[in-house]
Amino acid sequence: MSKKNIWTVPHGDGWANRREGASRVSETFDTKREAQQAGRDAARRDHVEHIIQDRHGQIDQRNSYGHDPYPPKG
């Protein structure tokens, strides 16, 4: 079973990290910076993509720490 990507998302008055497809968040943080750092560390450890949303829920950044195919498809 492969690991799921990690999303840094707005959550209430703060921020949270959530695995792709999960209904609940795994961690909550007061600031976006703290959430991003924890999400980045987890994505690097699990070799998955880290997707970061802005306050409005739109994708702000994407960083891949997985085994990207070379040459890329498409």
pLDDT in tens, 18-62: 999 999 999 999 999 999 999 999 999 999 999 999 999 999 999
Q: What is the pLDDT of residue 71?
A: 72
pTM attached to this predicted model: 0.86
The predicted model gives 63-69 an average pLDDT of 81
Select the more confidently predicted residue: 2 or 23: 23
Q: Is the predicted pLDDT of residue 2 greater than 90, yes or no?
A: no
Cis peptide before 69 (omega within 30 of 0): no
As given in the structure block, the two tokens for residue 71 are 């040459």
Q: Are 6 and 52 in contact (CB under 8 A)?
A: no
Nearest partner of 51 among 4, 7, 1, judged by Cα: 7
Strand 49-53 versus strand 6-11 pairing type: parallel
